[in-house]
Chain A
Amino acid sequence: MEHYNWGIPVALDLFAAGLGAAVFMVAVVADLAGGRKYRRISTTGALIAPWPAILGVLLLVIDLGKPGRFWEMILKRSHETLGVESLMFKIGSTMSTGTWLLTIFILGSLLYLVITLLAYPFKWAETLKKVLGVVGLPFALLVTVYTGILISATSNLLWNNWLLPLVFVSSAIVTGIAAVAFILAVLQVFKPESKIGSDVPRLEIMNSRLIVFQLLIVILFIIVGIGSAQMKAVIGSAFGLLWWIGIIGLGLVVPLLVGFKGGAKSPQISMLISVLVLLGGFFLRYAILIGGQMHI
């Protein structure tokens, strides 16, 4: 088996970090747009947002050659004495920026989760939640962008594509919405008599419009990169099946059609559609990450 420099753990991180940050953004935006009206969306989002990002960071650490040294990314050591000198931060290193963005995002989204729960009994927490949400939005957005910049600012012929960050950002948001829809649909299945899933069709309809945009960006991404052998391999070889059927067909086109038809007819179908979107999002990262490292 070929050994990839950056393998599945990194693909999972790119997916999970973007997903968590996007879920957070969806929660905040829903809260701002509708307050109590969208409480189901915003609370669900707030409850799930930190965990994918935490998982992503753990995977990144495990994937290091020396996981025990992860803190070298936080603290700067002197080359002469090896003593700790200061905090480590390098604006030009996306790995470094990303470390900090993820750290801030995880802490912030955990706080947001707590405050969201506090906002149920305490009125004052409601305002605090809105403020923290607005403050957190730019960080969450930067986390989704970071996943794309990380691999696009390299010498890799497939990744070094100026549209790649946008591909990941829009995919993150699409999967983030699907994740919220998935949880709501699952709850609806378990409590058939409740209204808990009533926002799901709305989310599906909204997502289908974003998927149109996502498809356009993906096609542009292919056009921009088509000169490289790697791109041809990713969309043409055995990978092509995953790409066209898994990522584009099942992960984007099917949910798009369902959304344009006014949403799924049952929460069970909604669950399935959300899973398709989520899997498509993961395989998009996977195909690009691994495809770029194939020796052609």
Chain B
Amino acid sequence: MMTEVSMLIDVAKCIGCRGCQVACKQWNQRPAEKTKFTGTYQNPPRLSANTWTLIQFIEPEDYDENPRWLFRKQQCHHCVDAPCEQVCPTGAIKKLENGIVYINQSICTGCKYCVEVCPFDIPQFDRASGTVRKCWMCLDRVKNGLEPACATTCPTGAVSFGSRTGMLAVARERQNILEKQGFSTRIYGKDELGGQHVMYLLPEKASIYGLPEAPRKPTEKIFWRWLLGVIPGMAILVAIFAYLFKQRSASDTAASDAKSGGE
């Protein structure tokens, strides 16, 4: 039995060096992308099939009153209640015992359902391979007792990796320190979507970091939605039946006189 692993991203410690981005590409052998300068250091502009982690550079809306430059490492959260895994029709997405959510590239058919379902917009379709790809928490490294490439690289300790309980303890400790300095903090991923195996220690509101404040499983109310389609649908069929039944005895000509003329 593998222990449940987790990654903790202490965003306050991130200096935006993007070493993790490079390490990820290197270890997972993802090619670089040609990009254009768009006025921000965020590069590439978004996650892709070849970019599994990305430092988001944020200048918050209230930048003028309170100037600050924020960085958040985007990647798969490895949810406990992973919506992507729930909707995968082939079973290519699997939640491992250690908490890692990974996509088996030899099973994925590239239906792209997980792409539309993930609340964090993480999985990306790879047109070259025809499959969907995303961060797999360097499963090959983790299996061999190593940390994911990004965590190994991070020079400031903003990305750390270990057992879930251990990471939670570190997060709480850091939370105390930050709270004393006057930040109101949140451990994002502690309980969200059943808990996530990538947790963010946020010193500001989640939405400022581009995270949904209360992420929801899109499949949550699916049963009611089926009912909401089925019941009115049945009512329509009954109405059609009633109409046709009533009209049954009306002569053919009554309704069609105008149209075909000489019946």
Contacts and interface: CB of A to CB of B under 8 A. Distances in A.
A173 B90 CA distance: 30
Given A93-B89, A99-B89, A154-B218, A65 B126 contact: yes
A209 B244 CA distance: 13
B260 A206 contact: no
B219 A153 contact: yes
Contacts of B218: 153-155, 160
A201 interface: yes
Interface stretch (B20-28, B106-114, B171-179): B106-114
A210 B226 CA distance: 20
B90 A72 contact: yes
Interface string A185-222: 00010001001011111100110011001000000000
A169 B233 contact: yes
Interface string B44-83: 0000000000000000000000000000000000000001
Given A64-B130, A79-B107, A141-B237, A152 B113 contact: no
B3 interface: no
B88 interface: yes
A124 interface: no
A38 interface: yes
A170 B236 contact: yes
A201 B259 contact: yes
Contact of A29 (B110, B129, B232, B240): B240
B131 interface: yes
B211 to A, nearest CB: 13
Interface in B215-263: 218-219, 221-222, 224-226, 228-230, 232-234, 236-237, 239-241, 243-245, 247-248, 252-253, 255-256, 258-260, 263
Contacts of A155: 83, 116-119, 121, 218
Contact of A145 (B111, B118, B230, B263): B230
B45 to A, nearest CB: 11
B110 A5 contact: no
Contact of B116 (A154, A162, A165): A154
Interface string A24-56: 011001101110011000000000000000000
A169 B236 CA distance: 10
Contacts of B219: 92, 94, 153
Interface stretch (A113-121, A232-240, A259-267, A274-282): A259-267
B87 A93 contact: yes
B256 A199 contact: yes
B88 A6 contact: no
A52 to B, nearest CB: 18
Contact of B256 (A77, A79, A165, A200): A200
A55 B91 CA distance: 25
B37 to A, nearest CB: 19
29 contacts: A29-B244, A38-B248, A64-B109, A65-B112, A65-B131, A66-B109, A69-B108, A72-B92, A72-B107, A77-B91, A79-B107, A90-B89, A93-B89, A94-B219, A95-B87, A142-B230, A145-B226, A145-B233, A154-B113, A155-B117, A155-B118, A159-B116, A162-B221, A162-B225, A165-B225, A170-B232, A195-B256, A195-B260, A263-B255
A151 interface: yes
Contacts of B110: 64-66, 69
A156 interface: yes
Contact of B108 (A66, A159, A197): A66
Label chain A's interface by main secondary structure.
helix
A70 B90 CA distance: 9
A88 interface: yes
A168 B232 CA distance: 12
Interface string A129-159: 0000000010001101100110111111001
A102 B228 CA distance: 20
Given A6-B112, A70-B109, A149 B233 contact: no
Given A73-B90, A206-B243, A166 B232 contact: yes
Contacts of A165: 225-226, 228-229
Contacts of B108: 65-66, 69, 72
A266 B248 CA distance: 22
